[in-house]
Amino acid sequence: MKLQHTITEGKEVSFDSLDRKIKNQIISIQKVVGGKRTSIFSGVHGMIVTLTIPGTLFRLGKNQLQGLVKNNVRWIETKEKRNELSVGF
């Protein structure tokens, strides 16, 4: 049996195509963790932004965690070898 349909979890979107509320949320997340966005995905589970963090990312402090909570972050994933932080919201 051949599948006729596939499910796409998300697609990459440009920052400029987002509405102002989402743009402001991404900018705020960038300021909180001190990173530069490298990609943004929009999907069935919300938004995902991937940030490159300068230096080595070992831990987030209390203020950073509180800032992320204020931005309704659902999850955080780190990729230490690439100095990347992905944030789902």
Distances (CA, A) of 36 to 33, 45, 61, 68: 9, 22, 18, 15
Beta bridge pairs of residue 48: 41, 88
In the chain, what are the domain boundaries?
Answer: 10-88
Q: Return the CA Rg of the chain.
A: 15
Please report the pLDDT score of residue 2 as a whole number. 65
Q: Which structure tokens are listed for 70?
A: 């204020």
Cα angle for residues 33, 35, 39 (degrees, 5° grid)? 120
* pLDDT tens-place values along the chain, 89 residues long: 566 665 566 799 999 999 999 999 999 999 998 889 999 999 888 999 999 988 766 678 899 899 999 999 999 998 877 789 999 99
